[in-house]
Amino acid sequence: MAQTMQVPILARAQAKTHPQWAFFKGEFVPIADAKVSIMAQAINYGIGAFGGIRAYWNSEQQQLYVFRIENHMRRFLNACRLFNTMPPYSADDIRRIILELLRREEYREDAYIRPLLYNATEDITPRFYDVAFEFACFSRPQGDYIRLQVRACVSSWRRLDDNMVPSRGKLTGAYVNSAFSRSEAHWNGYDEAIVLNHDGHVAEGSAMNLFIVRDGTLITPPVTDNILEGITRHTLLQLARDELSLPVVERSIDRTELYIADEVIFCGTGAQVASVVEIDHRQIGDGQSGPVGRALQETYFAIVRGKNQKYASWLTPVY
């Protein structure tokens, strides 16, 4: 790893509007200098993998907590393996890079971190062999990615099948699929999209996992239904069992089950925990966040902000 650079102390009372630093080509550089060639295969073919990690600010403790960083490192490196390559840094190295990056930014607000592996080779033949994969990382201030109550539609675009483009890794090119479904939802007056897989079963949102509640049971598609193996999804499964004593089932979900569900819940690092209150012009439940969604939101946000010591092992302090 590159040696730590000296950074001038910034005023800590003001919220940041734009990140100042990136880790790029083995060192910390001003983010304006972290540039990739237009000829790179990452630009031309979307060959790359990324992670999405949240850090939450606790004003009472004056501490910024990164949520489940070890799980995110494991998933990011697994995504790299799909290309039959690995970044030139270990999980511990990347963890240290992330923490140093956040310290340099001196965030006193919620933030989002993106580690990135990208194919930097400047050649017109799309491939994973005889190429140069490089690692970079940046962060940014991040509030709510979506509202905590959203209206959604079932997209006409299907979720990519794992035998077409792997679903369980966050692969950069695959998110064109997400862009199509979310844009369609936006143009049709909705906040978000729900995508089906090629079997016609519910997969997930445009970039978040999905749960339904029926008759007191929390139900979510299995990881074999072309969904991302979500870390927030895994978190909510555990919280539902351990904190809410809810029965949990992982099984395929039919489209029409969405319409008659007692609750529908989105979750993800970006989405956090959000209730879907309308789908395809049909009101879900009473049109508000339901009791399970509210309980999961309350429990989740207490944990990520360091207010529940039972789950302190999920948090990595920055300062």
Residues 180, 50, single domain; the answer is no
Q: What is the CATH number of the domain that holds 279?
A: 3.20.10.10
The residue range of the domain holding 122 is 21-141
The answer to whether 246 and 218 are in contact (CB under 8 A) is yes
Q: What amino acid positions are annotated as catalytic residues? A: 170
pLDDT in tens, 50-92: 999 999 999 999 999 999 999 999 999 999 999 999 999 999 9
Neighbours of 112 (CB within 10 A): 18
Mean pLDDT within 198-226: 97
Beta bridge pairs of residue 114: 138
Q: Tell me the three state secondary structure of residue 291.
A: helix
79 assigned to some structural domain? yes
Q: In this predicted structure, what is the pLDDT of residue 199?
A: 95
Residues 163, 300, single domain; the answer is yes
Contacts of 14 (CB under 8 A, 6+ apart): none
Where does the chain have alpha helices with state H? 41-45, 69-81, 91-105, 175-187, 231-242, 255-260, 291-304
DSSP 161: P
Q: What is the CATH number of the domain that holds 48?
A: 3.30.470.10
User: Is 2 a residue whose pLDDT tops 80?
Assistant: no
pTM confidence score: 0.92
**What domain count does the chain have?**
2
> Which residue type occupies 56?
Y
User: Given pLDDT bands bounded at 50, 70 and 90, which one contains residue 15?
Assistant: low
Provide the Cα torsion 143, 145, 149, 154; round to 10°. 180
Mean pLDDT within 235-257: 98
pLDDT in tens, 259-314: 999 999 999 999 999 999 999 999 999 999 999 999 999 999 999 999 999 999 99
